[in-house]
Amino acid sequence: MQKLLATVQQIFDEEKFIFEPHELYEPIDYTLRLGGKRIRPLLLMAANQMFGGNDEQVRYAAIGIETFHNFTLLHDDLMDKSPLRRGKPTVYRKWDENTAILSGDTMFAMAYQYFLRQPHEQLQQILSCFTRTAIEVCEGQQYDMNFEKRDDVTLDEYTEMIRLKTAVLLAGALKIGALYAQAPAQDIEHIYQFGIHLGLAFQLQDDLLDAYGDVAVFGKQTGQDIRDNKKTYLYLQALQSATNEVKQELKQIFESTPQDSEPKVKRVLEIYDAANTRQQVEKAINSEFSAAQRSLDEIQLPEEKKAPLQNIMSTLLGRKK
Amino acid sequence: MQKLLATVQQIFDEEKFIFEPHELYEPIDYTLRLGGKRIRPLLLMAANQMFGGNDEQVRYAAIGIETFHNFTLLHDDLMDKSPLRRGKPTVYRKWDENTAILSGDTMFAMAYQYFLRQPHEQLQQILSCFTRTAIEVCEGQQYDMNFEKRDDVTLDEYTEMIRLKTAVLLAGALKIGALYAQAPAQDIEHIYQFGIHLGLAFQLQDDLLDAYGDVAVFGKQTGQDIRDNKKTYLYLQALQSATNEVKQELKQIFESTPQDSEPKVKRVLEIYDAANTRQQVEKAINSEFSAAQRSLDEIQLPEEKKAPLQNIMSTLLGRKK
């Protein structure tokens, strides 16, 4: 995985993102060089290699998928009015709202331009997969915004939202990598399902770590979702398990924004603990992890071919097979 | 042209634009059903027919190009804080800013989905043309925003801006129509150039009509660009021809926003008249019109095949060959 990640990093280092007018492209270059884990290009290239592809074949597809992902972050940060991304000012803060809108739009078009840069027999399938994924990511963001205004969101609805907002793009990246390598149809379906379950496990774990993570490992303050009144899987799980009285209390807490948020975070974690929330979310993560593993196992390739993806999954989810 | 326009209208009437979540798709349906002149799908289908294509082949490409165009209007209206579009509230006013951002993003992806709906041998060329056009339209919008903050924009820079912001999409629509019909390479280049000159003439005429148009024909109040301090081709042309003294006066007027704008509009038109602005802009329009005509003449097809495009050009520019 480290070698592949270095390749991905090198591809980005070698690519030029600034053109004229520079007012349009500087925020794009800034965004694409902020770093991040580069998970999507990593998955795309790993899937491609697994099915016998080669780095050069998916060089621009790797840039394309990450450019799309960064475009969604850029617009999401504007919609959510987030001040920081990866510890740096977000584009709409560093520049302005119009710059965030237009540079984002341009990145979306650039993503297609990267995919189109190399001819490929399966181009229609590749771009159809990418486009369907893009639309689903937008739908996921809309459900996320809808859910902020609702107080009756179910766990199933939440799962469907994170499937659209997060999982389909990991799955799409894997599928596109496999399509470039002309993998067999049933394996393409398996790798897509692997990505969906991996994505769900990854997002649920992100929810869990926000409340229970080791600050040193997680890299950000815990309890932020609680402070932000974000109705995560934990919140919905606790609501489902709690008594009517506690349910009312939890709903009320998630409508408040006290000056000193520490008592609020503490009380919510007490409620989560009393409702066994952590264990239940871990169960859900395990279930997605196992489903991902089964999908990977279904792929008709020797184990050593699957080792890199197995490795990425272990690293992302912090656990072994 | 009327028959083709009816076909375009029918294609939109038959298409469904509302899916779940409806909060995302209702603004899209609203935007795509606001009407407008449907010039881009009309040009795409006309070019396709001219080179022997058929309506069914470009049905979804026609929807795709208009969906893209409407996406740019949706985001432009938000960036420009325009309250109305075609006499109706703009999306960011009727809903909110986040809806305008996200529904717009989704429309951009939908545009690709329409293009991808039918397989085509030349798909890579078609989508490369579309994508390059999309990027250029974004660049044009950025130049437009840059120019608002500058007071030294030249006529050449302005022309390049409207080429990117307006003309390339008309040219791209024509080229895509021709690509679907597998037109010869040199004719594809001619039809593209035809579109560029047609687009420039069309935009310059729009600038001219805003100042000198017949309200009954033009459909909106004249002098609006002057009220909005919009530095159009007329303004830049007048600046270039005027004495230093008048130049200063004109610049000052374009920094003011008086309660009663009528004296302002009147004085600017006096300056334009004294500088022969109208005649000079008409000369520029004629020059683009002639260049468009030459490009159309270069195409290796009998005159009767070209009649529909000739007709569309005449209607758009209100003049005969």
Tokens for A16, please give them. Answer: 């030029």
Give the pair of three-digit tokens for residue B47. Answer: 């070019």
Distance spanning both ends of chain A, measured CA to CA: 16
- Per-residue confidence at A220, pLDDT binned at 50, 70, 90? low
**Cβ B98 vs Cβ B68: under 8 Å:** no
Which residue would you say has higher pLDDT here, A56 or A26?
A26
Phi, psi of B208 (to 5 degrees): -65, -45
- Cβ proximity of B47 and B313 under 8 Å: no
What's the pLDDT score for residue B206?
93
ipTM of the complex: 0.96
In chain A, the residue whose alpha carbon lies closest to the alpha carbon of B128 is: A116
Q: Which H helix or E strand runs over A238?
A: helix A233-241
Joined together, the tokens standing for residue A203 give 């997002």
The predicted structure's pLDDT at residue B96: 97
Among B160, B32, B97, B137, smallest CA distance to A100 is for B97
pLDDT bracket for residue A321 (50, 70, 90): low
**Searching chain B, which residue's CA lies closest to the CA of residue A79?**
B98
Give the helix ranges, DSSP H, for chain B: 2-14, 22-32, 39-50, 55-80, 91-94, 97-116, 123-148, 155-162, 168-180, 185-212, 215-218, 224-227, 233-241, 244-253, 262-274, 277-298, 303-317
Nearest to B21 among A109, A132, A142 (CB): A142
Mapping DSSP to helix (H, G, I), strand (E, B) and coil, where does residue B300 land?
coil
| Calpha distance B153→B156 (Å, rounded) | 8
- Give me A151's structure tokens: 């107080």
Q: What is the pLDDT along chain B (321 residues), one digit of tens a residue?
A: 789 999 999 999 999 999 999 999 999 999 999 989 999 999 999 999 999 998 899 999 999 999 999 999 999 999 999 999 999 999 999 999 999 999 999 999 999 999 999 989 999 999 999 999 999 999 999 999 999 999 899 999 999 999 999 999 999 999 999 999 999 999 999 999 999 999 999 999 999 999 998 766 656 678 989 998 999 999 999 999 999 999 999 999 999 999 999 999 999 999 999 999 999 999 999 999 999 999 999 999 999 999 999 999 999 998 665
Peptide bond into A21 cis (omega under 30): yes
Q: What is the largest CA-CA distance in chain A?
A: 61
Residue of A108, A113, A150, A157 best to disrupt the B interface, most CBs of B under 10 A: A108
Whether residue B109 lies within 8 A of chain A, CB to CB, comes out as yes
Q: Are A138 and B17 a contacting pair, CB within 8 Å?
A: no
Q: What value does the CA radius of gyration of chain A take, rounded to a whole number of Å?
A: 20
A87/A56 Cα distance (integer angstroms) = 32
B106 near A CB under 8 A: yes
List the single residue in A with minimal CA-CA distance to B140: A21
Whether a cis peptide bond, with omega within 30° of 0, leads into B21 is: yes
**Residue reference for tokens 């301090």:** B229
Distance CA A128, CA A123 (A): 8
With 0-12 / 13-18 / 19 or more C-beta atoms within 10 angstroms meaning exposed / middle / buried, residue B47 is: buried
> What is the rounded CA–CA span in Å between residue A301 and residue B95?
51
Q: Which of residues 45-84 of B touch A (CB under 8 A)?
A: 75, 78-79
Q: What DSSP string runs through B140-161?
A: HHHHHHHHHT-S---HHHHHHH
Backbone angles phi, psi at A88, to 5 degrees: -115, 155
Is A302 an interface residue toward B (CB < 8 Å)?
A: no
Contact B295, B44 (CB under 8 A): no
Q: Is A126 on the interface with B (CB under 8 A)?
A: no
From A103, which residue of chain B is nearest by alpha-carbon distance?
B138
Q: What is the mean pLDDT of residues A157-177?
A: 98
Say how far apart CA A252 and CA A245 lie, in whole Å. 11
Residues 6+ apart with CB under 8 A from A106: A24, A25, A28, B135, B138, B139
Average pLDDT taken over every residue of chain A: 95
> B291 exposed, middle or buried (CB, 10 Å; 0-12, 13-18, 19+)?
middle
User: Does residue A154 come out as left (phi exceeding 0), alpha (psi in the -120 to 50 range) or beta?
Assistant: beta
Residue range A187-208: average pLDDT? 97
Contact B145/A at CB under 8 A: yes
pLDDT at B217: 63
Say if CB A316 and CB A42 are below 8 A apart.
Answer: no
Identify which of B134, B142, B145 has the shortest CB distance to residue A109: B134
- State the nearest Cα–Cα gap between A216 and chain B, in angstroms: 34
- pLDDT at A9 (0 to 100): 95
Q: Is A55 left (phi over 0), alpha (psi -120 to 50) or beta?
A: alpha
- A84-85 vs B84-85, strand pairing mode: unpaired
- Judged by CB atoms closer than 8 Å, whether chains meet at A134 and B109 is answered as yes
